[in-house]
Chains A and B, each alone.
Chain A
Amino acid sequence: MSTTLEQLAQTEPVDFGRRTVVVRAASMSFRLSFRALVVGVVLIAVTLLASLSALGFGSFQVSVPDVAKALLGQGPEVIQTLIVKWRLSRVVLAVLIGVALGLSGAIFQSLTRNPLGSPDVVGFSTGAYTGTLIAIVYLGTSQTLMVGGALLGGIATALGVYLLAYKRGVQGFRLIVVGIALTAMLASVNTYLLLNSELWQAKMAAVRGAGSINGLDWSEVRVVGLALVIVVPPTLLLSRQMNAMEMGDDAAAALGIRVEPVRLALVVLGVTLIAVTSAFAGPIAFVALAAPHIARALTRGTGALLVPSAIVGAALLVVCDIIAQQIFEPIILPVGLVTIVFGGAYLVWLLGRQTRKEYS
């Protein structure tokens, strides 16, 4: 325990137990885990490759090199039109929505300090769907109404969960419990709305409810892209605060973080992400839940892991969308069905593992 002056005077480089990359230039400095960097690069490569293949698949198959050519503006014009005008928007949308889902999952799991605290578990997606249903059944089926309904529904649900869980600040566990309760209530509201609807409305609602990016094009890409441009930078800027808040509110406050305003900002950012995706694609289950877990397992990192979660989310959704399009070709499944199959299995495994951990 005795520490001498000499021991203190020399700075040993801190051993983090893994390879770290430190970049220092001028007054800037960064520390990254080598593993996280490699994982990030590999996952981006996987996403790109999957995207290229996705562009080639369809009733008219195009090889990956030809897809690449078409993207660069070379090759036959028909193929360029097919790839760039028709298929590209779907793939880009899958990437953007995957990023949004991964990020919002990472935000809420970090905020609630709970691996189950993802936006689909705490009811935001169900609430957004309630909004869509209200629009379909009572207001009309224009895209604007359905999207607006989903946005309002998601935000109202989040507000409700936040207020009901608020008691001298919001604690993660209470947020989850209140969220699960609200999800159950909203699910019954959704059933009621469906029972009151016409058959064609119910069909439309079912397609929306499964979570699908079928039939979306560049106009949706623009809106989702714009939302990401607005939401992502502040989210990334708050990542260090998120890491500190995982140690408890008092510990974070002692480090100089104004916990409640930061938490409220993060809730707003996370809800915006999930509401925008739900508005266009319906509730795509489990990507928000699973992406941060997979990111953590792959990078073996701690903290919110925003960027890895976003990349994993994109990779997951692009791959799941390929499966959704190909598995029962020519029938195109909603991507939400594929994610729910994978995600459901994953959730069961996760719950099992958590229970074992707690009772062992």
Chain B
Amino acid sequence: MTLLDGPAVDTRATLEARRISFGYHDRPIGVDLDLVIPDQSFTVIVGPNACGKSTLLRALSRLLKPTSGEVVLDGQDISSYPSKEVARRLGLLPQTSLAPDGITVADLVARGRFPYQSALRQWSKADEKAVSAALSATGTTSLSTRLVDELSGGQRQRVWVAMVLAQETPLLLLDEPTTFLDIAHQIGLLELFTELNRQHGHTIVAVLHDLNHAARYASHIVAMREGEIVASGTPAEVLTEEIVERVFDLPCRVIEDPVSGTPLVLPDGRPTH
């Protein structure tokens, strides 16, 4: 299983988009996109605001039905699975989720078990184990009895990650998980994702805004602009001066990050648009 112990849930996961077009009503956002999420990768999607990153994530997680093309999850069209089955293979942390009034951390994380539960099976041993492991993996076990409303932003985001982890899915899709957090909490979360990726074998797909965080933590980067995928590959392949300028209209220099040896993007001049 994904959290190291217990019966092995297969952590191999394949997710790819084949020529998908998607959008809302008659406003197309992405057209004919092809995308492969490498198995066991920490894939980061970057791009300017409103370039379709979040919408792509929604399409990949069958929250938005593509108008054409197909999203293939573990070898099958994602729309051919029962919806609970998708939720056992792919977890999504949306950009905004609402903590119900007066809910405790443990209760919230336990709600991640929905795909495994039924009217007569509401709290199995496996549920308890998964919630316990999710709390432990995110370092929130000691917070379990606290009200979610009372937590700091960083703690709250960890709790939401725990909720998604309790789903025990090989694939984790995270929509801007670090937005609104201070730098220390951002790094803390990214370290957590890295650990989940490297030690627990989760394939992670995250939308991030900070290119240097992407450079440091991602194994694979997808750069988007106006609904198109401009480049994808390793941080060194994607985060070049040419590509960053093309994607963001921002002249920049790329040097080696003295701490991690990954590319470090330094803006150099005004945006050109």
Decide: A248 near B139, CB < 8 A? Known: A11-B129, A24-B125, A256-B83: no
The residue that A296 contacts in the complex, of B84, B102, B133, B192, with Cβ under 8 A, is: B102
A113 within 8 A of B: yes
A248 and B96: CB pair below 8 A?
yes
B266 within 8 A of A: no
B76 within 8 A of A: no
A250 and B92: CB pair below 8 A?
yes
A199 within 8 A of B: no
Decide: A8 near B104, CB < 8 A? Known: A113-B98, A240-B114, A255-B115: no
Contact partners of B132 in chain A: CB under 8 A: 11-14
Bound Cα distance from A168 to B164, whole angstroms: 25
B83's closest neighbor in chain A, by CB?
Answer: A256
A355 within 8 A of B: no
Decide: A16 near B144, CB < 8 A? Known: A247-B100, A302-B101: yes
Interface size on A, residues (CB 8 A): 43
Contact partners of A3 in chain B: CB under 8 A: 136-137, 139, 195
Bound Cα distance from A61 to B121, whole angstroms: 49
A29 and B100: CB pair below 8 A?
no
The residue that A27 contacts in the complex, of B24, B63, B102, B121, with Cβ under 8 A, is: B121
Bound Cα distance from A24 to B121, whole angstroms: 9
How far does the Cβ of B192 sit from chain A's closest Cβ, in whole Å? 7
B49 within 8 A of A: no
Contact partners of B5 in chain A: CB under 8 A: 5, 8-9
The residue that B122 contacts in the complex, of A8, A30, A115, with Cβ under 8 A, is: A30
Over the window 185-199 of chain B, the binary record of Cβ atoms lying under 8 Å from chain A Cβ atoms (1 yes, 0 no) is 000100110010000
A219 within 8 A of B: no
The residue that A14 contacts in the complex, of B84, B106, B121, with Cβ under 8 A, is: B106
How far does the Cβ of A353 sit from chain B's closest Cβ, in whole Å? 12
A13's closest neighbor in chain B, by CB?
Answer: B128
Decide: A250 near B101, CB < 8 A? Known: A8-B133, A244-B114: no
Which chain B residues numbered 70 to 93 have a C-beta less than 8 Å away from chain A? 82-88, 91-93
A28 within 8 A of B: yes
How far does the Cβ of B2 sit from chain A's closest Cβ, in whole Å? 10
Which chain A residues numbered 2 to 49 have a C-beta less than 8 Å away from chain B? 3, 5, 7-9, 11-18, 22, 24, 27-31
Over the window 233-257 of chain A, the binary record of Cβ atoms lying under 8 Å from chain B Cβ atoms (1 yes, 0 no) is 0000100100110111011011111
A302 and B100: CB pair below 8 A?
yes
B3 within 8 A of A: yes
How far does the Cβ of B66 sit from chain A's closest Cβ, in whole Å? 15
A256 and B124: CB pair below 8 A?
no
Most chain B CB neighbours (cut-off 10 Å) among A1, A14, A28, A251: A14
B28 within 8 A of A: no
How far does the Cβ of B123 sit from chain A's closest Cβ, in whole Å? 4
The residue that B87 contacts in the complex, of A14, A16, A256, with Cβ under 8 A, is: A256
B123 and A253: CB pair below 8 A?
no
How far does the Cβ of A133 sit from chain B's closest Cβ, in whole Å? 37
B50 within 8 A of A: no
A251 and B94: CB pair below 8 A?
yes
A69 within 8 A of B: no
The residue that A302 contacts in the complex, of B25, B103, B139, B191, with Cβ under 8 A, is: B103
Decide: A255 near B114, CB < 8 A? Known: A12-B132, A15-B145: yes
B98 and A8: CB pair below 8 A?
no
A9's closest neighbor in chain B, by CB?
Answer: B5
Most chain A CB neighbours (cut-off 10 Å) among B5, B91, B127, B137: B5
Q: List 20 A-B contacts (CB under 8 A).
A: A1-B191, A8-B5, A8-B137, A11-B128, A11-B129, A13-B132, A14-B128, A16-B104, A24-B123, A27-B121, A27-B124, A29-B127, A247-B98, A247-B100, A248-B98, A254-B87, A255-B87, A256-B84, A256-B114, A302-B100
Closest 8 CB pairs of A and B: A17-B145, A256-B87, A31-B123, A250-B94, A256-B84, A254-B92, A255-B114, A302-B103
